């Protein structure tokens, strides 16, 4: 069974640009979560999608948005990039149930390393 696939692996952008990251979950998984990872900050929750609906959202500005398609693939978009957006962006998929991820194992992708110059 293929794992969680994130593309691209690396991205270099300049301030003010926008970027779209892609995540293909494990087949059959309906939930996709996105996290931002920076040194010393751990994994900061961005949002979670379940059956094409945003189920939960973290404390990030509106420049960060996402969506999920009917095949469970998900995209994350960051507009008007800032230097502080440089980070590793991880997505994680889970089979999930309607009542959330309380007892669900997450499968992480290898991430997209975004550098903003």
* Residue ranges that bind another protein, judged by CB under 8 A: 4, 33, 35, 40-45, 48, 55-56, 58, 90, 92, 100-111
Cβ proximity to another protein, 56 vs 79, nearer residue = 56
Cβ proximity to another protein, 27 vs 80, nearer residue = 27
Burial of 88 (0-12, 13-18, 19+ CB in 10 A): middle
CB 35 within 8 A of CB 101: no
Cβ proximity to another protein, 66 vs 81, nearer residue = 66
CB of 26: closest distance to another protein in angstroms? 12
**Sign of torsion over alpha carbons 33, 64, 57, 45:** positive
């Amino acid at each position: 069974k293929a794992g969680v696939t994130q593309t691209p692996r690396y991205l270099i952008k300049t301030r003010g640009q926008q970027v779209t990251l892609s995540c293909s979950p494990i087949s059959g998984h309906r939930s996709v979560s996105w996290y931002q990872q920076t040194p010393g900050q751990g994994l900061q929750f961005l949002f979670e999608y379940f059956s094409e609906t945003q189920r939960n959202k973290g404390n990030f500005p509106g420049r960060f948005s996402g969506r999920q398609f009917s095949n469970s693939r998900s995209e994350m978009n960051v507009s008007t990039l800032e230097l502080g957006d440089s980070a590793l962006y991880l997505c994680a998929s889970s089979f999930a149930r309607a009542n959330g991820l309380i007892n669900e194992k997450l499968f992480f992708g290898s991430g997209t390393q975004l550098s903003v110059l």
